[in-house]
């Protein structure tokens, strides 16, 4: 029995919930009110120094963070992570792809759009992420010509990870028409036994329109070596 630190509207949290649903593994949940600043509490920073969810704490006190690392840990020895070294590495390849080209594009735009932050972001940044999101979806569609699932012929944690945000591209303003192979893959994932269709709207958290609280950054940057301890909000 371990503890999952979660924030329900987070699809990174969904990834772990989905795998745990497949595995039928019992766990405790502790919700972290990230927009209220609970991610920056000293207690939580000891669990995950980046202050983000999901994270897990084993009963012996050891902690693990980063959704894709948690997926790999929990899937070890199960059908959701292959035992063969090369097949495992292909799963890791697509977990890296997901982090850089799906979560950081569709995930970011979806968060900003659903919580009213899109207009507060630099328009060029929004445009860059939007284009990168469409490229990622087109790439996935092309890749799925040769195989049924993201990292091979079987459903793995790579499918769980990519699905988490890619399935919600429309909410991110990144829906694409005509990606037939991608759409069939979405359907195959939804048809998995134990598929967790439940998601939680940001709107259930009245504080989700706030910017994520962050601790002051106190470092002495090389640009201002004489002013140790100043707050740094941008390039010196």
Interface residues toward a copy of itself, by CB under 8 A: 49-50, 58, 62, 64-70, 72-73, 76-77, 85-86, 88-90, 92-93, 95-97, 99-101, 104, 122, 124-128, 130-131, 134-135, 137-139, 142-143, 170, 173-179, 214, 217-223, 225, 228, 232-235
Pick between residue 81 and residue 189 the one whose CB is nearest to a copy of itself: 81
Give 107's DSSP letter. Answer: I
**What is the distance in angstroms between the CA of the first residue and the CA of the last residue of the chain?**
47
Helix extents (H) in 25-120:
42-47, 67-75, 85-97, 108-114
Taking the complex as a whole, the smallest distance from the CB of residue 162 to a copy of itself amounts, in Å, to 13
Using CB atoms within 10 A of its CB, is residue 226 exposed (0-12), middle (13-18) or buried (19+)? exposed
Question: Nearer Cβ to a copy of itself, position 2 or 200?
Answer: 2
Looking up tokens 């090389």 gives 222
* Residue 129 burial (C-beta neighbours within 10 Å; 0-12, 13-18, 19+): buried
- Calculate helix-pair angle for 157-166, 180-190, nearest 10 degrees: 110
Q: Which is nearer to a copy of itself, 114 or 179 (CB)?
A: 179
Q: Nearest distance from residue 50's CB to a copy of itself, in Å? A: 7
What is the closest distance, in whole angstroms, from the C-beta atom of residue 36 to a copy of itself in the complex?
A: 20
- Indicate the residue among 190 and 218 with the shorter CB distance to a copy of itself: 218
Between 197 and 233, name the residue whose CB sits nearer to a copy of itself: 233
Of 100 and 198, which has the nearer Cβ to a copy of itself?
Answer: 100
User: By the 8 A CB rule, do 149 and 188 touch?
Assistant: yes
> At closest approach, how far in Å is the CB of 204 from a copy of itself?
25
Tracing tokens 């470092």 back to the chain, one arrives at 219
CB of 182 to a copy of itself, least distance (A): 10
> Please, which residues have CB within 8 angstroms of residue 134's CB and are 6 or more apart in sequence?
174, 176
Strand, helix or coil for residue 29: strand
């Amino acid at each position: 029995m371990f503890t999952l630190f979660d924030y329900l509207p987070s699809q990174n949290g969904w990834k772990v919930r989905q795998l745990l649903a497949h595995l039928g593994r019992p766990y405790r949940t502790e919700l972290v009110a990230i927009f209220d600043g609970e991610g920056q509490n000293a207690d939580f920073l000891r669990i995950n120094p980046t202050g983000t969810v999901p994270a897990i704490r084993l009963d012996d006190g050891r902690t693990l963070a980063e959704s894709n690392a948690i997926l790999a840990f929990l899937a070890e020895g199960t059908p959701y992570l292959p035992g063969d070294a090369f097949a495992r590495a292909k799963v890791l390849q697509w977990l890296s792809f997901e982090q850089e080209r799906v979560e950081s594009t569709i995930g970011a735009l979806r968060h900003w759009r659903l919580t009213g932050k899109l207009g507060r972001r630099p328009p060029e940044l929004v445009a860059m992420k939007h284009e990168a999101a469409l490229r990622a979806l087109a790439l996935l569609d092309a890749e799925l010509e040769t195989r049924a699932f993201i990292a091979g012929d079987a459903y793995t944690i790579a499918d769980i990870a990519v699905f988490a945000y890619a399935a919600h591209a429309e909410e991110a303003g990144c829906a694409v028409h005509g990606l037939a192979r991608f759409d069939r893959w979405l359907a195959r994932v939804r048809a998995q036994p134990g598929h967790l269709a439940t998601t939680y709207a940001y709107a259930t958290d009245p504080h989700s329109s706030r910017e994520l609280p962050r601790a002051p950054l106190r470092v002495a940057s090389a640009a201002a070596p004489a002013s140790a301890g100043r707050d740094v909000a941008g390039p010196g």
